[in-house]
Amino acid sequence: MERPGKFEHSRFLGDKRTQLVYDLDEWTDVGIIDDIVGAGVGLSFGPDTLAEARNRGYTQASPGASRRHRKPRA
């Protein structure tokens, strides 16, 4: 999958509404990523690792799994 322009240097993209993190190198569903970027609720991590995303309370997304959308705090 091609990375979105705003997150072209990030591998992991977090969704502030669901607290899920997406691995842009492995994820194939473009619609979800486009929704995150379009809504402006995407978050990249520094350092760009899954461990840092988990440290911030995010869990890795898996295909078919869903969570309730909440209003982002920040």
Structural domain range at position 24: 11-60
- 25 occurs within a structural domain: yes
- 34 occurs within a structural domain: yes
- 44 occurs within a structural domain: yes
- 35 occurs within a structural domain: yes
- 29 occurs within a structural domain: yes
Higher pLDDT, 29 or 72: 29
- The residues pairing with 12 across neighbouring beta strands, listed in sequence order, are 23
Predicted local confidence at residue 74, as pLDDT = 61
pLDDT in tens, 36-63: 999 999 999 999 999 999 999 999 999 8
- 50 occurs within a structural domain: yes
Predicted local confidence at residue 36, as pLDDT = 94
Q: Please report which confidence band the pLDDT of residue 66 belongs to, taking 50, 70 and 90 as the band edges.
A: confident
- 17 occurs within a structural domain: yes
Predicted local confidence at residue 64, as pLDDT = 79
Number of domains composing the chain: 1
